[in-house]
Structure 1
Amino acid sequence: MIKVIKPGIQLTIQDLGRVGFRHLGVSRSGSLDTYAHIIANRLVNNHDNDAVLELTVGLCELQFECDTVIALHGADLKATLDGHPLYPGWSYPIKAMQTLKFATGRGGSRAYIAVKGGIECPEVMGSKSTDLGAAIGGFNGRALQSDDIIKITPYAQPWLYNKGALTPPKRKVIRLHQGPHHELLTPECINAFCTTSFTINPNSNRMGVRLDHNNSQIMQHSLSLHSLAVAPGSVQLPPDGNPIVLLNDAQTTGGYPLIGHVIEADLHQFAQFRTADSITFEFVTLEQATAAKSKLDAHLSQLKLSLNRYWAN
């Protein structure tokens, strides 16, 4: 068991998401940084989809009530175990009654804690992920709170594996496919979108990242459209000209014009952006998007191959 002493800004249970229910209005949810999630699980020899803890910004404190092994990945939020520093990208044996604390840091927004054997909780629609809007999954459909008890399976065997793993590099130029409403927007609007440096608005969350910029007047519009399906990565352009990048907890339909869609290889970057971080966008071809995804898949494949040899020894 793990006892939550302090949950920090937002601590939730997430796996890779709830798939196959968008036609019923059910969001995907799941870890925003899928690569950090997968790498953390692989470092403790879990299945990729095993549930982990997603920690936002930091300021969290957890007490382990049994022996286990954990791996950290994602943002470096200055973790310590009984006062000793821990680092993302490594696994660590834990003894009963030890305390894991997080401060905060500027290297990203979300850290992932994988526990040997995964987090135990009931599945809802085939997933353990917490959907905060629908109040399903995870721990009673909500973010974890002080004194909550998280169920895990104890692991008391010696842990002799100390292999680390890097995260894919951060990007500030986010690559996009053209959206279905690209041709409805003015050339001046499209040009402004492609040449503007955007900053992350503090009113961003797991539903979406709101972007601020100085060209909002050029990008304002009065288009009125029927609602259509949207998905994580869809970039909506509201009438005020300030784009919104939809993330895992976003609604399944929307009526704002879709100026683009973030390629799969870059979507995880939005898990780690912090308020006032700056980004730009560029449109790419399907071939370029496929090559970017293949590069990240190769990174994970190399890690899996290396770790399989490690476990075999």
Structure 2
Amino acid sequence: MIEIIATGPQNTVQDLGRPGHRHVGVASAGAMDNLALRTGNLMLNNAADAAALEVQTFPLTVRFAADGVIALTGADGRATLDGRELLPWWALPVKAGQQLEIRYPRQGARVYLCVAGGIDVPQVMGSRSTALRGGFGGLDGRPLQAGDNLAVGVAAALSIGPGGYGVQPPGVAMAEAFPLPADGSLPLRAIAAGEADWFGNDLPRFWAQSWKISPQSNRTGYRLSGEPIQPEHRSEMRSYGLVPGVVQVPPGGEPIVQLSDANTAGGYPKVAGVIEADLWRLGQAAIGSRIRFVEVTPREAIAAEVAVEGYLAGVRRLVERRL
């Protein structure tokens, strides 16, 4: 059992989401940085879809009611255990009564607290993820509150010493495949979408400029601030299905990138789609930071996905030596 001592708003239970229900209007939800969640679960020998805590408002303080093992992935939340500083991307044992605090990150936006056995809340439509707009999943379909108690599932076998062990953060391990910002803007690879050619002379500016993530952003989508782009002609569009990564352009001309709680349908013109392998980086982009879209081919998108799977395979080999 994990007791929530203190929390900010919008911290939730998330797993890899509930795909397969968009046709009935149910968004997938799930972790904004699913690579951090997948890595944390691998480090603990959990099932791939085990649920964890997604922490995006700080501080979060929890108390452990029983001995267990945890992993901290995602942003570096300057975590402490009974006042002792912990490293990010690290798995370690915890004792009953110990208190963990996760503070505002040095960089990045979201920290994942994974526990051996996973957070044990009821599955709804095949997932434990919290659907905030729908008010279901997770813990009663809502953000965590002080005084909440979360059950933990049965942990699988794992040999881990008192000091624990860590893995290289993906941004370090895959530096060649995922370039760091060169001008203060996070490069996000994207493929031109169905209505890209509607934007005519404005399209090069979409790709060239640096966009700022607006405060009017959330798990549904990031609104971007910059010099607006407008289609050369306006046409009535039928609604179409949406998935995370789709970049829409509403009448105001400032794009919206759909994210984990993406709407299931929409009718704004689509200018691009962020490749799936880069969505974890977008999930770690903080409000107020800047991004830049980089046009790539499907072949380049596949190469990025291969790099991600190679990273996870390396973590898996490391864990297998501890079984």
With the length of structure 2 as denominator, give the TM-score of the two structures: 0.91
| Counterpart for residue 149 of structure 1 | 149
Aligned residue among 270, 289, 292 for 1:280: 292
Distance 2:64 2:116 in 1: 13
- CA drift of 1:154 comes to 7.3
CA gap of 1:5–1:298, structure 2 versus 1, over 3 A, is same
Asked if structure 2 preserves the Cα contact closer than 8 Å seen for 1:66 and 1:154, the reply is: no
Matched position secondary structure for 1:238: coil
CA gap of 1:153–1:47, structure 2 versus 1, over 3 A, is closer
- 1:173 equivalent to 2:175? Answer no
- CA drift of 1:115 comes to 0.5
RMSD, aligned α-carbons: 1.8
| Counterpart for residue 305 of structure 1 | 317
| Counterpart for residue 137 of structure 1 | 137
Aligned residue among 200, 207, 217 for 1:204: 217
Distance 2:96 2:8 in 1: 22
Aligned residue among 202, 205, 226 for 1:189: 202
- CA drift of 1:281 comes to 0.5
Matched position secondary structure for 1:173: strand
Aligned residue among 275, 282, 287 for 1:263: 275
**1:252 alignment partner AA:** T
- CA drift of 1:199 comes to 0.9
- 1:160 equivalent to 2:136? Answer no
Distance 1:220 1:81 in 2: 53
| Counterpart for residue 39 of structure 1 | 39
TM-superposition CA deviations, 1:231-254 (whole Å, max 9, x none)? 011101111111111001121000
**2:230 alignment partner AA:** M
TM-superposition CA deviations, 1:267-304 (whole Å, max 9, x none)? 11121111221111111111010011101111111111
Give the unaligned 5+ runs of structure 1: none
Matched position secondary structure for 1:290: helix
Give the unaligned 5+ runs of structure 2: 172-177, 181-185
CA gap of 1:157–1:46, structure 2 versus 1, over 3 A, is closer
Between 154-163 and 117-126, the greater mean CA deviation after superposition: 154-163
- CA drift of 1:307 comes to 1.6
CA gap of 1:223–1:282, structure 2 versus 1, over 3 A, is farther
**2:161 alignment partner AA:** L
Asked if structure 2 preserves the Cα contact closer than 8 Å seen for 1:9 and 1:59, the reply is: no
Asked if structure 2 preserves the Cα contact closer than 8 Å seen for 1:223 and 1:239, the reply is: no
- 1:23 equivalent to 2:23? Answer yes
Asked if structure 1 preserves the Cα contact closer than 8 Å seen for 2:45 and 2:158, the reply is: no
Provide the aligned length of Structure 1 versus Structure 2: 308
